[in-house]
Every structure is written in structure tokens, then in C-alpha cells.
Amino acid sequence: MTGGIPGPGRPPDPGVDAPTLLVGNPSSIGEPAPGGGRRRLLAGRLARGLGELLITAGIVVALFLTYQLWVTDLFAARTQDRLHHQLDQAWQRPPAPPAPRAPAGQQARPAPPPPVDLGDGLAILRVPRFGRDYSPVVVEGVAAADLRRGPGHIPGTAMPGQLGNFVVSGHRTTYGKPFSRLDELKVGDPLVVEVRDRYYTYRVTGSEVVTPNRVDVTYPVPKRPGVVPTKDLITLTTCHPKFSASHRLIVYGELVDTTAKSAGVPPALRGE
Amino acid sequence: MYAWLYRHLPGSPRLRLTLATVAVLAVVALLMFVVFPAVETVLPNGRVTLGD
């Protein structure tokens, strides 16, 4: 019986009630029971506090996973609902006065759409392969705050229906994960971009995985710096593999059809 | 730590339980709306655009 735990026949441990007796009292060395009990009590408290901290840390990590895998999707769904609503309203209003007339040779081309504020919706993307309900609003800008709202159009690249490359980046794993299934697209798959008064139907022409520094895939003619574009292209980018920043998945497409909304939905969206 | 916090809450057990619940919810909200959005910007899975 040399331990600090008071046995049934022992008097109560004085160390608990009279801590001042122990401070700097050399006699406690010869008497292990009170000092040891005090130390054990302290060690117990420390261990318990540490355990509580570790459990708390574990709960915070679990909460963060919940946030990433679920809560961000809720945020994005709410924002997308709002963006759809705003876009509907904006498209019902008469369009802004047309921009200065295009040069004579390009009269057939619709006037370029008015500039869009960062974070505002500019088009609806529809991909039949991703299902009928897939219709994320593409927003202007690719800052973190813009991409939380939806797939983002890289400012400065062509707008839909403009000559050049309409480049859109989107989340693959969080915030509604609009581009999570980009790897399933096959050559020839339609990508339909809906704007105020028409649908632009692009067809996938190819895809590749590149390193993150390959800005040249966003050029008006991808990977051909300085070349003047002659086609309307679309390029979608997202991270690859999922949850990683090591590479980017790039999907290329080319405009094949323009359908005015007055003529109904384009063939690519029918027949489902 | 938590026992200590709980002991220092005022009022009846019922009030304490309510206060503790509100405190937990407040901490969770702070994490979800402030801390996590700030932390996630350093995670790799948000990098979807091209550039250095």
C-alpha cells in the first residue's frame, strides 16, 4: 500500500483539501500518498483536458468534411436558385439598347451581349449526358467567390456566340460540383448554352488532362497563341483528379448550331 | 474543460442546458460561415482554372 489511492481504512487524503501544506514542504517526499495523489489528480485533469481537446479536434474535422461534401452543395443550390430567378427576370425584360453596329460583313452575327458584372449569371449550361435536370447558371468571373456560385466564365474570353473561345471553369467536388462528371463526356456530345434569345449548341471535339500552368488552352484558338479565331469554340476546365490540384481536365467543343428561342428548343435538348 | 464550462453557466439545469445548446450551435455556425470558407481556399480541390 504505497500508492496514492486512499484505501478503505485510511483517513481521507489531506492533499486534496489542504494543498498549501504540500507546496514547498519537504516532508511530503517521505510521504508519497498525499503528494502522489495530488500529482495524479493534476495528471488526470491534464489527460482529461487533452482528451477533450482531441475529441473536439476530431469533431471539428468531421464538421469540416460535412461542410465540404454537403453544406457547400446546399449553399450553391440556394445561390443557383436565385441566379436562375434573376436570369429569368432579366431575360423577360426588353434587352438593353444594341451596341454599336457591327461592321457590314458581320451583320448575320448577333450583337455581342452586354457586359455582365462579376458573379452575375450570363447563361445556362445544359448537357444532355448529365441528365435533364442539369442546368447550372454560368456566372461571370472565376475568383473563389464567383466559383462558389456556379461555373465561371473567364473574363476576357469570348462570350457565347462570339468568335473565339468561351472558357468556363467549374468545381468538380464541392459547391454543387457542376463539373464533377466532365470526364464522362465523349466526342460528339452536345453542350447547349442558353442565353437571352437563343441556344448555342456545341459538340465536344476532344478532352485532355494538362498541368495547371497550361494557360494556352484558354486562347481564342486553344494552344495556338496569336492565331485569329475563325470558329466559335467552348472550353470547360476543372480540377483533375478529383480533390487534387495536380492537373486540370479540359474539354473542348465547337459551335455546330444556333437556335432562336422563337424556334423552340434545339434538337440536342429534344428526344429525351 | 467542458465540465468546468458547464459548472460556470448560471441558472437552473434547464437554463444551463439551453445555454450550452445555443453556445454549441453558435460555434458550429461560426465554423460553417466564417472559419471553413476561409480555410477551404488553401485546399487543392478549389483550383479549377489555369494559371500559376
**Domain range for residue B14?**
6-30
User: What pLDDT is attached to residue B43?
Assistant: 83
User: What pLDDT is attached to residue A186?
Assistant: 96
Distances (CA, A) of A56 to A47, A52, B38: 14, 6, 20
**Interface mutation vs chain B, best among A56, A68, A71, A73, most B CBs within 10 Å:** A68
Give B-chain residues touching A214 at CB under 8 angstroms.
50
Residue B17 in domain: yes
Q: How many domains does chain B have?
A: 1
pTM: 0.79
The minimal CB distance from B32 to the residues A71, A218, A244 is found for A71
Sign of CA dihedral A172, A244, A148, A211: negative
CB contact under 8 A, A144 and B41: yes
Name the class of domain A67-94+116-269: mainly beta
User: What pLDDT is attached to residue A16?
Assistant: 44
- The 8-class DSSP code of residue B35 comes to I
Query: How big is chain B by its Cα radius of gyration, in Å?
Result: 18
A209 touches chain B (CB under 8 A): no
Q: Which of residues 88-107 of A touch B (CB under 8 A)?
A: none
**Interface mutation vs chain B, best among A78, A154, A235, A239, most B CBs within 10 Å:** A239
| Count of pairs with CB atoms under 8 A, one residue in A, one in B | 79
Q: Distance (Å, rounded) from C-alpha A108 to C-alpha A84? A: 29
For the residues A122-148, what does the mean pLDDT come to?
Answer: 95
Question: Is A110's pLDDT higher than 80?
Answer: no
> What pLDDT digit, counting tens, does each position of A171-203 carry?
999 999 999 999 999 999 999 999 999 999 999
A60 touches chain B (CB under 8 A): yes
For the residues B18-46, what does the mean pLDDT come to?
Answer: 92
Grid coordinates standing for A261? 428561342
Average pLDDT, chain B: 90
Beta carbons within 10 angstroms of residue A116's beta carbon? 18
Residue B44 in domain: no
Sign of CA dihedral B31, A61, A68, A167: positive
- The 8-class DSSP code of residue A121 comes to E
Whether residue A233 contacts residue A200, with contact meaning beta carbons closer than 8 Å, is answered with: no
> What pLDDT digit, counting tens, does each position of A92-109 carry?
987 766 555 555 555 566
Query: How big is chain A by its Cα radius of gyration, in Å?
Result: 32
Grid coordinates standing for A188? 460528339
Q: Distance (Å, rounded) from C-alpha A248 to C-alpha A267? A: 31
Residue B18 in domain: yes
ipTM for the complex? 0.90
CB-based burial label for A115 (10 Å; 0-12, 13-18, 19+): exposed
